[in-house]
Structure 1
Amino acid sequence: MKRCALAALTALSTTWLCAQSLVGEPEFIRLQREAVASQRAEVMAVYQEEAKACWQKFAVNACLSNARKTRRAALEPLRQQDLLLNAQERQWRTEQRDLRLQGKQTGQPNPP
């Protein structure tokens, strides 16, 4: 049940993140990073519970392998969100740098 809810949550947050066109707002980027970090913490907590339960079973290695597979599958959308946020932040930083450079160019007197 937790896996289904977690998968639905990551799918919804991924589509919501892609639908946003607020590139260049550092507050938006910061909030999204916090959301991704909290989702990552939830995934890791679920993995820790599954790994702990595996040690009570006979086939420990197979159970741990399955738990790792589900963890990797749950973390992949979060990784994609991180990459998208990194690209947005790079774009914002580039825009800010370009604005600073334009300000410096207009502030200087023209050479004769």
Structure 2
Amino acid sequence: MKRSLFAVVAALSTSLSAQSLLGAPEFIRVQREEIARQREVITAFYQEDAKACWQKFAVNACLSDARKMRRAALEPLRQQDLLLNAQERQWRTEQRNLRLEGKQPENRSTP
């Protein structure tokens, strides 16, 4: 179960490796949807593992291990989400700067 969870995360995370020909907002939206799907898969694996823990003698230790695995699997997604946030902030700053440049008069004489 543990190996399959990490294999799924590794396979799904390869889609974030390079930006496609989509525009920045579209790319960010698509990547956020992909991250959400990956989180759902990880959550489903965690719930399955947690449910299986209740059949064992050491329930608390098993649940703790399942939570550790979930945190370890979610950390790369968190990092990808932070990277997307930074890209979105950069894109918005660029768009704002372009709008402000368009509002500036052509003759930039200082008073």
Normalising by structure 2, we get a TM-score of: 0.83
Conservation of the 8 A alpha-carbon contact between 1:24 and 1:89: no
In structure 2, the residue matched to 1:29 is 28
1:70 aligns with 2:77: no
- The two structures have a TM-score, normalised by structure 1, of 0.83
Residue of structure 2 equivalent to 1:94: 93
**Secondary structure of 2:102's aligned partner:** helix
Higher RCO by CA contacts (8 Å cutoff, separation 6 or greater)? 1
Corresponding residue pairs, total: 110
* Identical counterparts, % of pairs: 71
Structure 2, unmatched stretches of 5+, are none
* Deviation, structure 1 residue 82: 0.2
Query: Aligned partners of 1:12 and 1:104: how far apart in 2?
Result: 46
Q: Deviations over 1:22-44 (max 9, x none)?
A: 69610000000000001001101
| RMSD (CA atoms) | 2.4
Classify 1:93/1:35 alpha carbon distance in 2 versus 1 (closer, same or farther; 3 Å).
same
Distance 1:88 1:4 in 2: 31
**Cα–Cα, structure 1 residues 90 and 21, in superposed 2: closer, same or farther, change >3 Å?**
farther
2:52 alignment partner in structure 1:
53
